Structure 1
């Protein structure tokens, strides 16, 4: 039953999303410093990034569906507490193996972000569901991009472990706050856990809306990952030769774009989710023309980053609005399965942007990101054509006979 979400609760839930997702991405801007201290060789540093992503993927499949069975308020608090444990283990890790374990643990329970989105969708009235999802989902993007700035600054002053100490304390505190400020959301589904897991698999094979939105998200975040996993490469090279702090500050441009897309939730509530998705995917592809410009000034690149993050957030919010509206009684499992496409797409973007850059340079990385955006637009266009094809057609002979009869009676 929709009980509504207050402005204060939206702020708390957005903070939950930002803090939890930050535990996976905080290691990226301090990788060059953390790796040697943990005894890892340069060629094995990628395992620190992969650990969180693999854990997150597992949590999406195994933990997020629990939100359709239990009290989501209690589940959010428990997952936050366990995310805090993972961050604390990472902060105290004496070697690479313990750090990998801590990051993987934090990644598994960082799926509290998706449980939070499902909670908001469940308790929001239909007329404001998109607005609330947009506000809370903005916390995810704030965490992904904002933690780059914070980790870069703390890494240069207090050391790379400081950001994980901060995240451990923040997640633990939020576990207490959510228990006190959120209304219970009791699940009444008669399904068993195994039935919900099987239903997630059936979504891919039988639900056309879910499959199209999942594929769009796969390509959407492959394009997003192409930027944020590869941007440090040209900025750290000549002629700029920026350090981690300067590179991290580019996350502020991404935040501006992502926060600007908060309006997407209101557009979705007004029935424009499909239209906004199409235009935003074209904007995403066009943004790469600006992002490719890395000299002699970075002004065009900054504008491109703002446009890219605006487009990504607009499509992401629209997709979640459409899916939770279509499946209001199992928002948890639907969001979990949907976000698996996000996780796989982000991983693909991270791998291919590095490969393209080392092989041909930044222009190749930008071309790869643009092609991912166009692939997402092609999926959207195909889905729109299929929907139009299913609209009822006028039976021409019958229509003609009725018209003749009407004229003859005059």
Structure 2
């Protein structure tokens, strides 16, 4: 039987998840300064977020299954130490190629955020699994939402290189806490399931678990809608008649704090009711927010409310969906989550790629209606 986390263990995992995933985004406000410092075009340094995303996908595919084989204290500590080393390599990078290589490593190591959610779900009693996953998801959401604000402020005060060193120090503090507080018990491996066998078994999981296929379809649809709305909205607000500057557009991201606040409530509801019921309610909430965005961009309060509802629906649904994936087979939750997240991000990336062409073709309202259709389709998949 899996031992429960020590007192405060779930909150520690939430903090680790938030501070780790923040490293994929914190440098973005300083990219212009990075380009100037390295004397390269901004278009080259603009590949840094892509490098982090590639690394994150590698981490989900290759490192997340390790949660089925290694003790949480050992695994999380090692990844946070690797994250700190990668951040130091980025901070001392003499040119764009070493910087991009470092960010692939940063993205892979930052995937410890997904491991944290998996560990919280695995070590929670079944009747509290939703709360555990939602708490870590709240930490991740806070890290994503606040990363650009904190990273930009630190870069302005101490420079982008020292900013990365600050984040490296935070990662080391997390490693110390993980080593001393997280369970040292190694997961009970399934017979004949070494690490290589685990990696080889990932593709067939979709065939063996119909519920995993449905979870991928649901999650992929709302992440597609999430990226579609945010990219298209940013482009729309920057153009006439709105013509907002990047700072004003960035402030709208704070509306996502409602999604952060809604996650603990979602966890309790997931434990009390079925994840499917929670997901349907979340999708209807997100669709209502998108409908408000489709008609209310001329009103900042309406835009903020629409984004708050949209983000809350998407964030909360993700927590409920992941708890459902973990519940399929807690002993193989790392492998199941690996398949889920790789496909989830792949489908979501399509929303990012299609946002600008779709906006040019059907305009903002047509793009918003496309997102609503994806959200409603996610709601009806069972």
Q: Same fold (TM over 0.5)?
A: yes
Distance 1:152 1:290 in 2: 30
| Alignment match, 1:8 | 8
| Alignment match, 1:119 | 119
Distance 2:248 2:157 in 1: 14
8 Å contact kept, 1:149–1:249: no
Distance 1:354 1:155 in 2: 29
| Structure 1 consecutive aligned stretches of length 4 or more whose deviation exceeds 6 Å | none
Q: How does 1:8-407 map to 2 (within 5 A)?
A: 8-189=8-189, 190=191, 191-238=193-240, 241-293=243-295, 295-358=297-360, 361-378=363-380, 380=381, 383=382
Q: Report the alpha carbon displacement of residue 92 of structure 1 after superposing the two structures with TM.
A: 2.7
For 1:187, what is the secondary structure of its paired residue? coil
Distance 1:272 1:120 in 2: 19
Query: Measured at CA, do residues 364 and 105 of structure 1 come closer, stay the same or move farther in structure 2, by a change above 3 Å?
Result: farther
Q: Larger Cα Rg: Structure 1 or Structure 2?
A: 1
Q: Report the alpha carbon displacement of residue 209 of structure 1 after superposing the two structures with TM.
A: 0.2
CA offsets per residue over residues 201-246 of structure 1, 9 Å max, x none?
A: 1111221100000111111211222234444333444455544444
Distance 1:366 1:32 in 2: 30
| Alignment match, 1:391 | none
Distance 2:112 2:245 in 1: 32
Distance 2:154 2:245 in 1: 13
CA offsets per residue over residues 325-383 of structure 1, 9 Å max, x none?
A: 121111111111111122213322222223334555443443343333234234x1xx3
What TM-score results when the alignment is normalised by the length of structure 2?
0.91
Query: Measured at CA, do residues 233 and 313 of structure 1 come closer, stay the same or move farther in structure 2, by a change above 3 Å?
Result: same
8 Å contact kept, 1:118–1:335: yes
Unaligned stretches of 5+ in structure 1?
384-410
8 Å contact kept, 1:261–1:314: yes
Q: Report the alpha carbon displacement of residue 249 of structure 1 after superposing the two structures with TM.
A: 2.8
For 1:318, what is the secondary structure of its paired residue? helix
8 Å contact kept, 1:349–1:369: no
For 2:354, what is the secondary structure of its paired residue? helix
Query: Measured at CA, do residues 270 and 330 of structure 1 come closer, stay the same or move farther in structure 2, by a change above 3 Å?
Result: same
- Number of aligned positions between the proteins: 380
Q: Report the alpha carbon displacement of residue 294 of structure 1 after superposing the two structures with TM.
A: 5.9
Distance 1:118 1:289 in 2: 33
Distance 2:36 2:304 in 1: 31
Distance 1:364 1:154 in 2: 39
Distance 1:364 1:99 in 2: 38
8 Å contact kept, 1:51–1:104: yes
Query: Measured at CA, do residues 310 and 74 of structure 1 come closer, stay the same or move farther in structure 2, by a change above 3 Å?
Result: same
8 Å contact kept, 2:267–2:319: yes
